[in-house]
Structure 1
């Protein structure tokens, strides 16, 4: 009891609904991009703080064992800072490669800055 004309109208309606859903999809992608960038920023901050903390811990421990307070602690804090910065740079390079990959970001670098 279905009319061929009715089937054609249903298919047309389905196509219009699909087109409308596709038109709304980029808005969600834009929000996910900014959320992802915030996560990457926190990752880099955490890497720097972790390097400093590990350097402090090693230096403090060696100072306690050897009685050289505060010299080894200062030296290892600087080593930790250097390691943290190196890790941050490696992460930034990885992010840059990911963004330059084909199809990585639809909006590119124009975020209004």
Structure 2
């Protein structure tokens, strides 16, 4: 008989621990401190800046490679001009890839995830 009393007490403690764990998990899953409020308003501006930076980085890298090759080979700035255009093309290609990511289909949520927020939330 003593064994039954210990089992029911253990089950009660386990149930309480399980409930406390579920509460902690629910609280951790909805942690609003991770994303500052109002940042979703600037999402498109952030993506636009990303695209501008990608273009400028392509131009800068092309300029650097072309200028370096011109210095090393002692040529006129022909290679610099060529590599600036190549960097511009690479920057445009990267921008188009970013635009395709933005306009692509939304990522499918896993079962059990919270619904995605939109502008109305």
TM score, norm. by length of structure 2? 0.57
Number of residues of Structure 1 aligned to a counterpart in Structure 2: 78
1:62 aligns with one of 55, 60, 69: 69
1:45 aligns with one of 38, 49, 52: 52
The question of 1:106 aligning with 2:106 is answered: no
Please state whether the residue corresponding to 1:52 is helix, strand or coil.
Answer: helix
TM score, norm. by length of structure 1? 0.60
How many Å separate the matches in 2 of 1:92 and 1:71? Answer: 32
How many Å separate the matches in 1 of 2:65 and 2:48? Answer: 26
Superposition RMSD in Å: 2.2
Bigger CA radius of gyration: 2
How many Å separate the matches in 2 of 1:69 and 1:52? Answer: 19
Give 5+ residue unaligned stretches, structure 1.
Answer: 1-27, 109-113
How many Å separate the matches in 2 of 1:105 and 1:45? Answer: 27
Q: CA deviation at 1:36?
A: 1.1
Structure 1 outlier segments of 4+, above 2 Å: 31-34, 102-108
Q: CA deviation at 1:67?
A: 1.3
